[in-house]
Amino acid sequence: MTQAGDVHRAAADGYTANADGYVRGRPGYSPELADWLANVLGLNADKTVVDLGAGTGKFTPWLVKTGARVIAVEPVDTMRAKLAHALPNVEALKGTAQSIPLLDASVDAIVCAQSFHWFAHKEALSQIHRVLKPGGKLGLVWNTRDKRVPWIAKLDAIVDQYEGGSPRFYTGAWRKVFPHTGFGALHETRFSIGHSGSPEHVILDRVRSTSFIAALPEDERARIDEQVRALIDSESELRGKETVTVPYETAAFVIVKENK
């Protein structure tokens, strides 16, 4: 976990160095998420929602499609610049989860897509609580590879050896901040999705976009590329294919600020 007020070094260094790879390598989200945003988070044209830790804006268009007013908050300058260029109608602010640049009780919802594990501590939740209106909702969204597929488990074994304690969704450490004063219970929904494309983009670029790998020295990153290419060449489902599909699950969580 990060210390309050800081951006984790692996995130700052890795995402600064590889903002382009992040855009190419990251999968989209399940189409079912549109209904979840409308019916569970209650987003519509009358609402204001914050995309917290918005990155390059991979998730932001999902929020824009709800009709809500969208404010993106992102601390890494290179990623925020890409978001602002791609989505000029979205207000993009420099800020962190520990210091959200918005007024008290000013937004209806906050969504953290692929980001909450970086700032899963009491200080960030207290800031989120401050900014949400009474009855406002915090949504947490992650895409995770389906490790039940044998070659996915092998791929993750290559990646995991380099994590060095970096915060990640799959460890579940982020759950330790709940319950939190002023919030209700955490509710989970899961959807399945596939990420299709060339092995270079959906496998290699996805691995390269992992923050702690992107932050490694060039020679180490080259060795990881070699390991991943060797895995692709060894698996009949992947070897020689122009297009492959990586199976993912979208995990979506919601928690409501108590109406007091």
Q: Residue 5's pLDDT is what?
A: 42
Encoded tokens for 34: 């549109």
Q: Residue 20's pLDDT is what?
A: 53
Sequence-distant (6+) residues with CB within 8 A of 148 are none
Domain ranges across the chain: 9-146+167-196+247-256
Opening angle at CA 145, ends 206 and 84, nearest 5: 45
Residue 3 has pLDDT above 50, yes or no: no
Instruction: Answer yes or no: are the C-beta atoms of 57 and 72 closer than 8 Å.
Output: yes
Residue 190 has pLDDT above 60, yes or no: yes
Q: Does domain 9-146+167-196+247-256 have CATH number 3.40.50.2000?
A: no
Q: Indicate the pLDDT class of residue 167, thresholds 50, 70 and 90.
A: confident
Residue 227 has pLDDT above 70, yes or no: yes
Residue length of the chain: 260
Residue 128 CB neighbour total at 10 angstroms: 26
Among 19-28, 115-124, 128-137, 225-234, the minimum mean pLDDT is found in: 19-28
Task: Report the chain's mean pLDDT, rounded to a whole number.
Answer: 90
Q: Residue 22's pLDDT is what?
A: 45
Output DSSP code: residue 243: -
Residue-wise pLDDT for 120-163, tens only, equals 999 999 999 999 999 999 999 999 889 899 999 999 999 999 98
Residue-wise pLDDT for 51-99, tens only, equals 999 999 999 999 999 999 999 999 999 999 999 999 999 999 999 999 9
Encoded tokens for 43: 């987003």
